[in-house]
């Protein structure tokens, strides 16, 4: 084979590979079980930021954030961060209903600070539900929860 024939064959092979790759990506995008190169769930959760009680307090005193208590309603009624709203993480249908009812407050121009008792798994669950309903900004999660807030002596009601 001549060099010219080899170049033609090489170009054809490269063209076929490029077309196959483009077709594969296109089919993957529209296929219901297509491969997620970057998990949509993980991408959204990267927008959650863990903050300390001191950082949350700065947002609180400046009125820069809506504080969301993700604990059960009875625990919320006993004591919560001053001005916080309650969106319990369990049962899920109730939290979804509350998110819908408070959408104007939760989706306002203020930041969201979510908290629970400690560890804040319930706050992370509410963050996922907010993102699933179209929330696009960062969500702050109080690292040590209500316990960390109380330890600092910050305002409650």
- Tell me the pLDDT tens digit for each residue of 109-149: 999 999 999 877 899 999 999 999 999 999 999 999 999 99
For 83-109, b/e burial (b = at least 16 CB within 10 A) is: ebebbbbeeeeebeebbeebeeebbee
Total-model pTM: 0.73
**Residue 87 · residue 76 · CB < 8 Å:** no
Q: What span, in angstroms and rounded, lies between the C-alpha atoms of 89 and 81?
A: 17
For 113-130, b/e burial (b = at least 16 CB within 10 A) is: bbbbbeebebbbbbbebb
């Amino acid at each position: 084979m001549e060099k010219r024939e080899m170049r033609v064959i090489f170009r054809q092979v490269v063209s076929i590979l490029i077309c196959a790759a483009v077709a594969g990506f296109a089919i993957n995008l529209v296929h219901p079980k297509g491969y997620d190169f970057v998990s949509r769930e993980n991408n959204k959760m990267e927008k959650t930021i863990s903050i300390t009680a001191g950082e949350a307090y700065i947002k609180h005193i400046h009125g820069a954030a809506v504080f969301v208590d993700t604990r059960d309603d009875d625990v919320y009624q006993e004591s919560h961060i001053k001005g916080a709203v309650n969106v319990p993480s369990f049962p899920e249908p109730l939290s979804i209903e509350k998110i819908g009812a408070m959408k104007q407050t939760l989706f306002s121009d203020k930041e969201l600070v979510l908290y629970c008792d400690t560890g804040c798994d319930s706050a992370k669950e509410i963050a996922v539900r907010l993102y699933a309903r179209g929330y696009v900004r960062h969500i702050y999660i109080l690292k040590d929860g209500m316990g960390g807030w109380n330890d600092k002596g910050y305002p409650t009601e």
